[in-house]
Amino acid sequence: MSSFKTIEWKDDRVLMIDQRSLPLREVYIECLMFEDVAQAIKDMVIRGAPAIGVAAAMGIALGAHKSKRKDKIEFLAELKEISTVISNTRPTAVNLFWAVKRMMNLVNENKDKDIDWIRNRLVEEAKKIYEEDISICKRIGKVGSELIKDGDTVLTHCNAGALATAGYGTALGVIRAAFQEGKRIKVIASETRPFLQGARLTAWELDKDGIPVTIITDNMAGYVMSKGMVNSVVVGADRIASNGDVANKIGTYPLSILSRFHNIPFYVAAPISTIDYNCPSGDQIPIEKRDTKEVTHIMGNKITPDVEVLNPAFDITPSDHVSSIITEKGITEAPYSKSLRALLG
Ligand code: MRU
């Protein structure tokens, strides 16, 4: 496990490591109200699909816990409002909606119970989602490590590590597991403009664990692949459509094209909660557009002229670029419409 906690329920509040300050400062923020959790998700204090799923669940639990309503109907209406606020924080990672649905299903199935009972169960459920996420990531790691050989160099994009989950990570879970099995592996972390999750977060957490990591800028990926410096690419996912198309951090799609061109296996590691079985293909996945200041400013300083700027936070990698999808229930391959559905059985 990692030596820091990404998120934690402690003394009736939610604590999070502030990922905006890493790696320069390791500071933790306290969320006292559900609105604080919603704002933290929006502002990227916490980010990464499974981590925002856990945060969403804890946000609803916090809202229920702090509610002053004595009337059941009013209490249930308030929970509905809380779930809407949490759902409106970020649109792409399906884990957020998965977690909200799981929490609200619990409410809807137990409407006859008293307010205190519902409140306590929601807190228990949020803690359970947190614990489950850690064990799911460990299983993903164990399953996926068989794809990594001793001596391999693995390229990863963004941060799909302990910081992006309740702990351990998905793509970095695979890397951690291979490393813990004694395989001598190296990691190349692409910096991931504009938010720099690769350079700031992936490099920080791997270095903390003693896993050798080299940072490259995003536009160096073609160079390192063409020089035979990469044995495989392992990334996480924010949403996987039922046909196997993958939404992940902007810049994942070009990496998949480069991998294909250079015959390098391209693996996606994700929990089953990241698969959106109601979404037929990548075309239907909503892509978050973030504040263009993330592109135009570096550490508060404007670096661009006043021209039009785009800032889509995710892109879609078509399923035929994906060599395997690694889940807690095993490694799946094309045709994904069949193999992903089989995971449900
Ligand atoms: O915008 P972010 O930092 O939330 O995006 C995160 C990613 O794209 C990750 O690769 C993905 O959520 C997988 S995390 C296990």
313 CA distance to ligand 1 middle (Å): 9
Q: Which residues touch 123 (CB under 8 Å, ≥6 apart)? A: 9, 61, 64, 65
pLDDT reported for residue 63: 98
What does the mean pLDDT of the chain come to?
97
Q: Is 47 in the pocket of ligand 1 (CB under 6 A)?
A: yes
Please tell me if the CB atom of residue 238 comes closer than 6 angstroms to any atom of ligand 1: yes
Please check whether residues 150 and 258 belong to one and the same domain: yes
Check if 237 has its Cβ closer than 6 Å to any atom of ligand 1.
Answer: yes
Q: Pairing mode, if any, of strands 301-302 and 297-298?
A: antiparallel
Which of residues 77, 107, 137 is at a domain's end? 137
Query: Is 238 part of the annotated catalytic residue set?
Result: yes
For ligand 1, whether the C-beta of 87 sits within 6 Å is no
Q: Which of 114, 150, 152, 238 is catalytic?
A: 238
Please identify, among 137, 154, 184, the residue that sits at the C-terminal boundary of a domain: 137
Closest CA to ligand 1's atom 10:
236
User: Has residue 305 been placed in a domain?
Assistant: yes
Question: Are residues 145 and 122 located together in one domain of the fold?
Answer: no
Residue 181 lies in a domain: yes
264 within 8 A of 225, measured Cβ to Cβ: yes
CA–centroid distance, residue 159 to ligand 1 (Å): 6
CA-to-CA distance for 300 and 115, rounded, in angstroms?
A: 46
In whole angstroms, give the CA distance from residue 165 to residue 56. Answer: 12
CATH number at residue 87: 1.20.120.420
Q: Does 184 share its domain with 278?
A: yes
Q: State residue 3's pLDDT score.
A: 78
Mean pLDDT of 289-312: 97
Decide whether any atom of ligand 1 lies within 6 Å of the 249 Cβ.
yes
Model confidence pLDDT, tens digit, residues 127-158: 999 999 999 999 999 999 999 999 999 999 99
Mean pLDDT, to the nearest integer, of 116-136? 98
pLDDT value at position 45?
98
**Do the domain assignments include residue 1?**
no
Q: Is the peptide bond before 286 cis (omega within 30 degrees of 0)?
A: no
33 belongs to a structural domain: yes
Which string of DSSP letters, residue by residue, matches 84-102? HHHHTS-SS-HHHHHHHHH
| Domain identity same for 160 and 252 | yes
Mutate which of 134, 174, 240, 248 for ligand 1 pocket (most atoms within 8 A of beta carbon): 248
Q: Whose CA is nearest to atom 15 of ligand 1?
A: 160
Ligand 1 site, residue 194, Cβ cutoff 6 A: no
Position 181 scores a pLDDT of: 98
Residue 73 C-alpha to ligand 1 middle, in angstroms?
37
Q: How far is the CA of 116 from the centre of ligand 1 (A)?
A: 35
Task: Give yes or no: residues 111 and 162 share one domain.
Answer: no
Q: Tell me the C-alpha distance between 297 and 23, whole Å.
A: 18
Domain boundary among 74, 108, 137: 137
CA of 49 to the centre of ligand 1 (A): 5
Ligand 1 geometric centre to CA of 271 (Å) = 13
User: Probe ligand 1: pick from 159, 204, 268, max atoms within 8 Å of CB?
Assistant: 159
Q: What's the pLDDT tens digit per position in 154-189?
A: 999 999 999 999 999 999 999 999 999 999 999 999
pLDDT of 244 reads 98
Are residues 95 and 232 located together in one domain of the fold? no
- Report the CATH number that the domain containing residue 172 is assigned in CATH: 3.40.50.10470
The minimum-distance atom of ligand 1 relative to the CA of 90 is 4
- Say yes or no to pLDDT of 333 above 80: yes
Q: Which atom of ligand 1 is nearest to the CA of 93?
A: 12
- Do residues 246 and 221 share a domain? yes
Q: Is residue 2 part of a domain?
A: no
Range of the domain at 79: 7-137
1: pLDDT confidence band, cut at 50, 70 and 90?
A: low
How far apart (Å, rounded) are the C-alpha atoms in residues 244 and 255?
17
Whether 170 lines ligand 1, by a CB cut-off of 6 Å, is: yes
Same domain, 86 and 19: yes
Q: Inform me whether the pLDDT recorded for 274 exceeds 90.
A: yes
pLDDT in tens, 35-65: 999 999 999 999 999 999 999 999 999 999 9
Angle, CA 113 vertex, CA 111 and CA 116 arms, to 5°: 115
Whether residue 132 sits in one domain with residue 195: no
| Same domain flag for 133 and 151 | no
Task: Tell me: do 230 and 332 sit in the same domain.
Answer: yes
**Shared-domain flag, residues 92 and 169:** no
Total domains in the chain come to 2
Q: Mean pLDDT throughout 93-122?
A: 98
For residue 196, being part of any structural domain is answered with yes
* Domain-located, residue 160: yes
For residue 264 and ligand 1, the question of a CB distance below 6 A is answered with no
Instruction: State whether the beta carbon of 248 lies less than 6 angstroms from ligand 1.
Output: yes
| Confidence (pLDDT) at 56 | 98
